[in-house]
């Protein structure tokens, strides 16, 4: 890592207070860093480093932040000819929080208006949401809201798939489609799913690249759609988990907090089991759509009259098992770090879900990066 011209405001002890790390002593010579990937891991890490005084840029190959905390717009035409757009949470639909640190981060995100909480067992009210153990969290109006909030004010490049990285005398550089998009970076963070991180890491940390390439990830075929309201009673907003068949989770999006409701309509997200998704991984989206629509009607025991629906394949949806090993990777000599949900389940309490792992991994990496910066100055 290069020498830093600005003194971080935190002593080593102070660094444990990562939320938030504030560094008012910004100077033009502040250390430069880039975060590639703006899912929850990348967005959180970027926010912590920016608050600690790093000059931060973020890059994502998608058109906006959130990664697998995803909400998609389904464009369709109503019977009266009106063009409609319905937003559907087709990645992680919601998530739990086990560790008090993560719960605290979510409470702050809720206060900022980025997240909301509910308890599917007590869908009616906030008091119930706070009481039960089944409490879940989701983005306020769409799943990426938290990541978008964290990245507010940071320079971001969207639709920018980083396909090469390297180092010269000035630090790290990044390229996308043959164009240099960043250079002179003191630190570089990759917050990518493991299969996408592996080829970028291979020239620099072949040991990490090998581990990342071997992480088993489960696929998930997802259907998003709008139907007419069901003739008989419909499932509530909590994801329902059918016991048999290809469906792992059935979500009535319009029965969930912060989501659009329209009389006479039902908004659906269907997630296939990982076993079924693996078996049908290379099927066409049309074939998958038909199969999962049929499975829904069979499971409900009534026909579903679809207005519009599409299938989406998540090739890498969730890590197959809670990973062992460290919560993050950081090479202080290279100034290269990696975080994400595929790292570091070992030290976390049981029941921690992938979203929480992604956040914890990012927090631990940000702490390691900042500790290195302090050590360089010491
Ligand atoms: C269908 C589904 C259901 C899920 N259900 C749950 C659940 O119930 N509970 C739970 O906790 N978790 C769930 N998850 C998993 C959860 O969404 C992830 O664990 C979490 O969002 C991962 O965050 P991340 O930041 O590590 O990675 P990601 O969110 O994947 O972020 C990585 C980012 O990197 C970007 N990127 C990739 N390659 C490049 C490149 N070369 N250049 C630039 N950018 C790049 C991507 O566009 C993406 O924005 C689910 C996921 C899916 C898909």
231-274 pLDDT per residue, tens: 776 655 556 777 778 999 999 999 889 999 999 999 999 999 99
Structural domain harbouring 250: 217-319
Write the CATH number for 262.
Answer: 3.90.660.10
Specify whether 54 is located in the same domain as 190.
yes
Output the residue whose Cα is nearest ligand 1's atom 34: 37
Task: Work out whether the CA dihedral 193, 38, 47, 139 comes out positive or negative.
Answer: negative
Per the domain annotation, does 244 fall within a domain? yes
Query: How far is it, in rounded angstroms, from Cα 353 to Cα 104?
Result: 16
Stronger pLDDT, 234 or 308, i.e. the higher one: 308
Q: What is the 3-state secondary structure (H, E, C) of 338-360?
A: ECCCCCCCCCCCCCCCHHHHHHH
Specify whether 227 is located in the same domain as 309.
yes
Specify whether 212 is located in the same domain as 177.
yes
Specify whether 212 is located in the same domain as 326.
yes
Specify whether 285 is located in the same domain as 185.
no
Q: Pseudo-torsion of CA 234, 237, 241, 244, nearest 10°?
A: 20
Q: Pseudo-torsion of CA 292, 294, 297, 302, nearest 10°?
A: 170
**In angstroms, what is the span from residue 351 Cα to ligand 1's centroid?**
18
Q: What is the pLDDT of residue 321?
A: 77
Residue ranges around ligand 1 (CB below 6 Å): 36-42, 59-62, 67-69, 91-92, 95, 161-162, 191-193, 196, 220, 222, 271, 314, 317-318, 340-341, 353-355, 358
Domain boundary among 275, 304, 319: 319
Per the domain annotation, does 20 fall within a domain? no
| Ligand 1 atom showing the smallest separation from residue 339 Cα | 26
For the cut 50, the answer to whether the pLDDT of residue 22 exceeds it is no
Specify whether 222 is located in the same domain as 367.
no
Specify whether 348 is located in the same domain as 304.
no
pTM value is 0.91
Specify whether 199 is located in the same domain as 227.
no
For the cut 80, the answer to whether the pLDDT of residue 345 exceeds it is no
Per the domain annotation, does 111 fall within a domain? no
155-207 pLDDT per residue, tens: 999 999 999 999 999 999 999 999 999 999 999 999 999 999 999 999 999 99
| Ligand 1 atom showing the smallest separation from residue 43 Cα | 25
Q: What is the pLDDT of residue 13?
A: 30
Query: How far is it, in rounded angstroms, from Cα 187 to Cα 164?
Result: 15
Specify whether 246 is located in the same domain as 258.
yes
**In angstroms, what is the span from residue 352 Cα to ligand 1's centroid?**
16
Q: Is 327 helix (H, G, I), strand (E, B) or coil?
A: coil
**In angstroms, what is the span from residue 338 Cα to ligand 1's centroid?**
14
Specify whether 41 is located in the same domain as 151.
yes
> Tokens 């640190």 appear where?
101
87-129 pLDDT per residue, tens: 999 999 999 999 999 999 999 999 999 999 988 766 554 444 4
Listed residue (17, 345, 49) closest to 187, CA to CA? 49
By most ligand atoms within 8 Å of CB, the mutation choice from 192, 320, 348 for ligand 1 is 192
Specify whether 50 is located in the same domain as 165.
yes
Specify the number of domains making up the chain.
Answer: 2
**In angstroms, what is the span from residue 37 Cα to ligand 1's centroid?**
9
Listed residue (111, 32, 8, 67) closest to 335, CA to CA? 32
Specify whether 347 is located in the same domain as 229.
no
Domain boundary among 281, 300, 319: 319
Per the domain annotation, does 152 fall within a domain? yes
Cα–Cα distances (Å) from 207 to 22, 84, 217, in that order, read: 34, 49, 19
Q: What is the pLDDT of residue 127?
A: 44
Residue 268 neighbours by CB under 8 Å, 6+ apart: 88, 223, 224, 225, 226, 227, 250, 251, 252, 253, 296, 309
Domain boundary among 319, 337, 363: 319
């Amino acid at each position: 890592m290069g020498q830093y011209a600005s003194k971080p405001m935190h002593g080593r002890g102070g660094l444990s207070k990562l939320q938030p790390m504030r560094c008012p002593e910004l100077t033009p010579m502040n250390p430069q860093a880039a975060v590639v990937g703006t899912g929850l891991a990348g967005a959180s890490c970027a926010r912590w480093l920016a608050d600690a005084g790093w000059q931060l840029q973020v890059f994502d190959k998608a058109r906006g932040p959130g990664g697998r905390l995803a909400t998609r717009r389904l464009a369709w035409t109503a019977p009266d000819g009106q063009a409609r757009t319905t937003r559907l949470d087709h990645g992680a639909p919601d998530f739990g929080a086990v560790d008090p640190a993560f719960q605290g981060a979510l409470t702050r995100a809720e206060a900022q208006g980025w997240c909301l909480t509910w308890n599917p067992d007590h869908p009616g009210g906030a008091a119930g949401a706070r009481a039960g153990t089944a409490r879940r969290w989701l983005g306020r109006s769409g799943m990426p809201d938290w990541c978008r909030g964290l990245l507010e004010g940071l320079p971001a490049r969207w639709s920018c798939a980083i396909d090469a990285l390297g180092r010269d005398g000035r630090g790290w550089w990044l390229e996308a489609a043959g164009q240099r998009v960043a250079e002179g970076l003191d630190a570089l963070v990759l917050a990518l799913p493991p299969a996408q991180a592996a080829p970028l890491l291979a020239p620099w940390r072949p040991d990490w690249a090998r581990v990342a390439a071997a992480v088993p990830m489960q696929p998930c075929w997802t259907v998003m759609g709008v139907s007419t309201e069901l003739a008989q009673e419909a499932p509530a907003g909590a994801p329902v988990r059918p016991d048999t068949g290809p469906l792992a989770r059935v979500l009535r999006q319009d029965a969930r907090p912060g989501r659009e409701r329209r009389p006479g309509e039902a908004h659906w997200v269907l997630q296939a089991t990982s076993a079924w998704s693996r078996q049908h991984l290379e099927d066409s989206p049309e074939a998958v759509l038909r199969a999962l629509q049929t499975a829904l009607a069979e499971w409900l025991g009534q026909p579903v009259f679809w207005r519009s629906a599409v299938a989406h394949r998540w090739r890498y949806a969730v890590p197959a098992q809670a990973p062992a090993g460290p919560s993050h990777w950081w090479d202080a000599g290279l100034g290269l770090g990696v975080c994400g949900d595929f790292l570091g389940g070992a030290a976390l309490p049981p029941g921690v879900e992938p979203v929480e792992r992604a956040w914890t991994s990012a927090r631990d990496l940000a702490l390691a990066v900042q500790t290195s910066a302090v050590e360089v100055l010491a």
